[in-house]
Structure 1
Amino acid sequence: MAERETWATRLGFILAAVGSAVGLGNIWQFPFKTATTGGSAFVFVYLVAALVIGLPAILGEFVVGRRANINAVEAFDKLKHPAWTVVGALGLLTGLWILSYYSVVGGWVIRYMAGSVTGAYFATPAEYFGRVSMGWEAIAFHAGFMALTASIVAFGIEDGIEKATKLMVPSILVILVGLAAYAFTLDGAAAAYDYYLSPDFGYIANNLADIVPFAVGQAFFSLSLGMGAMITYASYLGDDDSLPADGSLIVVLNTFVGLLAGLVVIPLLFAQFGEVPSGAAGGGPGALFVSVADAFAQLGGLPGKALGFVFFGVVLVAALSSAISLLEVVTSYLVDNYGASRPVVAFGFAGGLFVVGTLSAWNTAWLGWFDTLAYGVLLPLSVLLGVIFVGWVYGPEAVDEIKKGTGGGETFATAWLWSMRTYVLVGVFVTLYLGVTGIYEAPPIPVL
């Protein structure tokens, strides 16, 4: 079997992990969830969740990946705990589940980039979304996005994923900073910042059960936790890398990008409508597309076209950076264990996921159902099992692993393990409970 690939540089790993974390989870889901779940109240709970639960959990996945030096599914067997292979398998299936409908949204983004050039959505943004988000056109763009994803993964770690994310992630940051600076100049920006950045703690206390599953689920989603991606990416690391330093930087950069996305979208909506439009707060996963497109349409002419093209361009880059990490999980598994051809695996699974995703492309009700199940059950369950394994089953070995490199001393390692065994475990369990109970209030499975 060929020698296993590694990251060419530490920066390559960090940017790839940030790229996996950033994606649509930050630029599509984060503003959308903010609008639907209490504005600044959601932002506050999300920030706490990302730091208090997300950071320890991502370090746990890094420990498993680097210690095993193999894909997410086989990692637990190599660590001599074969019964826990279910954790890696569930992560792989969760990532594939998400990618199947995530690709549909990626297809929407491509369509909106083209629509920005022509101004096609300017006249009737809601009707335009209804026309391009479902049916044969949506299926075609879904196929295009999946093909782009497979093409990058097919080139491998150093020549494909690392080179792509070294270009993608800095581009995302630069463009979002520029768009946020532009949004700062808009009328209504002050009211937008108040809505977005001034949490009402009374509201949080009274609505905690509604906010927590979405906020913590968003932290899992945006950090690519519970999908096998971070275990897989960490498996290409060397022992001299500092997991605490790298993990902290990844969480900070990811959170920064999420906040930046909100600083672009929320002021843009307030500038055009004086508030977050009611459609954006309750119109489903496509509502943000309609509201943002409407804002660009209000600008009209060349400014609206240019801003729309740039905005949806950065969303596309972010979407691809996450999608490649999800496809890499299953690709790595088959390449590691069966010596399979990387291009064949990448395009083969992309084709299978395209077929599954046609449900979401044909009817957005299916996409909403897939997303609800991922947020409410699959992600928190996968993360919970991983936290239990690292904290209570693999504890001493996990401590040894996290101390390698620099920045992971005895005191930090002990505190980290304690957090995994206590409040991180409780927080993830409560999130799973709230998510499962919330499923009963969700819309039923759509009819074909």
Structure 2
Amino acid sequence: MVQRETWATRTGFILAAVGSAVGLGNIWRFPFVTGEGGGAAFLLVYLLFVALIGFPAILVEFVVGRRTERNPVGALLELGGDAWKYVGAIFIVTGFVILSFYSVVAGWFIRYFLEGFRGSYASHLAGYEDIAAEAGEPTAAIMFGELSTGLDAFFFHTLFMVLTIGVVALGIRRGIELAVKVMVPAIIVLLVGMAVWAFTLPDAGAGYSYYLSPEFGVIVDNWAELLPAAAGQAFFTLSLGMGVMITYASYLGEDRNLTKDGVTIIGFDTGIAFLTGLVVFPVFFSAGITEPGDGGAGAIFISMTDAFATIGGGHLLGLLFFGTVAIAALSSAISLLEVVTAYVIDEKGVERWKAALGMGGIIYLLGVPVTYDLIFLDLLDGFADGVLLILGALLLVILVGWITPKLAVQELEKGIGDLGGLGAAWIWAIRVPVLLVLVVSLYLGVVDYVEFLTDDFAGWIDENL
């Protein structure tokens, strides 16, 4: 049996969990999902879901991880028996699949960051104007299309996975904990600085109005789309359903107050997501971009590149922005690789560096097709985020809320004391509202993914094979 590591400090655990939560989900995904949801209307519903659904759910993963001191497979095997180890495997597969395409997207941010050193974003766009005119497409969209696939995308995917594997191979204390103690404070400082800068931009007020002034009629009219979108974003941005919080909590001691840690992590994560909006939406509206949700996975690259080419000081702001997201992406990626690495260490007795290199190498290979065509990003993303992530979280909630509730409350009380009625309130919160949200989200996710497979992906196969 390989000796299991622990966190050196509470700060290390908090920053690692925050680092996992604040990656691409907050800075790549949050702006365009917020834009698709109508700005402030989505933000309000999202914040409600974080508080009412995200907090009870993160405690579920904490108690499972700390009580068993195992990875998701070993943890669920110990709590529920043989059949539940297959549920634990869902978490491993989810993290595995997400990191495969996540690495490619992170590579895009590194590339855009480095492009800033080669000249202004306006000069880069100028190089694609002729192609854009011939294709009848926006110049920034053509630039994104050129940089997001091909040998360049392959190279930066490779570079990012090498960095991720290197950090995880060094271990909990010497690798992950040291890295996040540098990266997470840097992310916060850079975002605060950019938010202050964005405040000075012309038409920033229009961006704040869009982002901070909800129209309740929009919520009433679009609740069927807003609710599952907000729930999915809350789970994605808090790294729930991926096995990350189970794995990180497995390195904790019994004296830790899990409730306090959960509040701290959610507070930091939500604050950073909110800060991102204070940067992005003033920049969008100052550059005349009033439809922030357009563009899907490439929305943040297309819109922000256009903005940085237009506004005063855009060159420096672009460097800071893309560099910050690249750092945030690495802090999340190491958490995803740690989930599958911990599984191999715990269950197979493999040395850490071999486990990190082996699993990281397989994940890297799975992501290579994404560098060829973005249809594979949609294929992997839809399966992981729309189906696996929600399915794993749903089954875990059933196990904790309905099968082992007494054990869960006992574990939560360690480091806190007798919870009294609050323990029962937590259990009923995950038994009813959390469970219902997950059931609805899973249904909608499956429907959407089947539609994608039968329409978009089937069409791509007909055209290319």
State which drifts further: 413-422 or 13-22. 413-422
Compute the displacement of 1:79 (Å).
2.5
Q: Secondary structure at the match of 1:298?
A: coil
Compute the displacement of 1:340 (Å).
0.9
Question: Is the contact made by 1:242 and 1:407 (CA closer than 8 Å) also made in structure 2?
Answer: no
Deviations 1:370-422 (A, max 9, x none): 22333321221111111111100111100100011027622321211111111
Deviations 1:122-176 (A, max 9, x none): 2423332111101121111111111111010000001110111111111111110
The CA distance in 2 between the partners of 1:182 and 1:423, in whole Å, is 40
CA spacing shift, 1:350–1:113, aligned 2, 3 Å: same
Q: Which residue of 1 aligns with 2:136?
A: none
2:336 to 315, 326, 341: 326
Compute the displacement of 1:435 (Å).
2.0
Question: Is the contact made by 2:121 and 2:315 (CA closer than 8 Å) also made in structure 1?
Answer: no
Q: Secondary structure at the match of 2:234?
A: helix
CA spacing shift, 1:408–1:232, aligned 2, 3 Å: farther
State which drifts further: 28-37 or 124-133. 124-133
Does residue 389 in structure 1 map to residue 414 in structure 2?
Answer: no
Q: Secondary structure at the match of 1:111?
A: helix
The CA distance in 2 between the partners of 1:153 and 1:408, in whole Å, is 37
User: TM-score, normalization: structure 1?
Assistant: 0.95
Q: Which residue of 1 aligns with 2:224?
A: 209
CA spacing shift, 1:410–1:81, aligned 2, 3 Å: farther
Q: Report how many residues are paired.
A: 443
Letter of the 2:180 partner, please give it. Answer: T
Q: Secondary structure at the match of 1:285?
A: helix
Deviations 1:190-229 (A, max 9, x none): 1111111122222112211212222111111111111111
Letter of the 1:136 partner, please give it. Answer: L
CA spacing shift, 1:205–1:246, aligned 2, 3 Å: same
Q: Which residue of 2 aligns with 1:228?
A: 243
Deviations 1:294-318 (A, max 9, x none): 1111136xx3322111111110110
State which drifts further: 349-358 or 52-61. 349-358
Compute the displacement of 1:84 (Å).
1.4
Q: Which residue of 1 aligns with 2:443?
A: 433
The CA distance in 2 between the partners of 1:29 and 1:204, in whole Å, is 20
The CA distance in 1 between the partners of 2:117 and 2:65, in whole Å, is 43
Q: Which residue of 2 aligns with 1:148?
A: 163
CA spacing shift, 1:110–1:407, aligned 2, 3 Å: farther
Question: Is the contact made by 1:244 and 1:407 (CA closer than 8 Å) also made in structure 2?
Answer: no
The CA distance in 2 between the partners of 1:297 and 1:127, in whole Å, is 15
Question: Is the contact made by 1:149 and 1:324 (CA closer than 8 Å) also made in structure 2?
Answer: yes
* Percent of aligned positions that are identical: 52
2:205 to 185, 190, 196: 190
The CA distance in 2 between the partners of 1:115 and 1:57, in whole Å, is 40
The CA distance in 1 between the partners of 2:432 and 2:299, in whole Å, is 38
> 1:17-416 to 2 correspondence within 5 Å?
17-119=17-119, 121-123=121-123, 124=125, 125-273=140-288, 275-277=289-291, 280-299=292-311, 303-406=313-416, 409-416=419-426
Q: Which residue of 1 aligns with 2:133?
A: none
Compute the displacement of 1:289 (Å).
0.4
Q: What are structure 2's unaligned runs of at least 5 residues? A: 126-139
CA spacing shift, 1:88–1:143, aligned 2, 3 Å: same
Q: What are structure 1's unaligned runs of at least 5 residues? A: none
Compute the displacement of 1:118 (Å).
1.4
Question: Is the contact made by 1:403 and 1:410 (CA closer than 8 Å) also made in structure 2?
Answer: no
Q: Secondary structure at the match of 1:74?
A: helix
The CA distance in 2 between the partners of 1:407 and 1:147, in whole Å, is 44
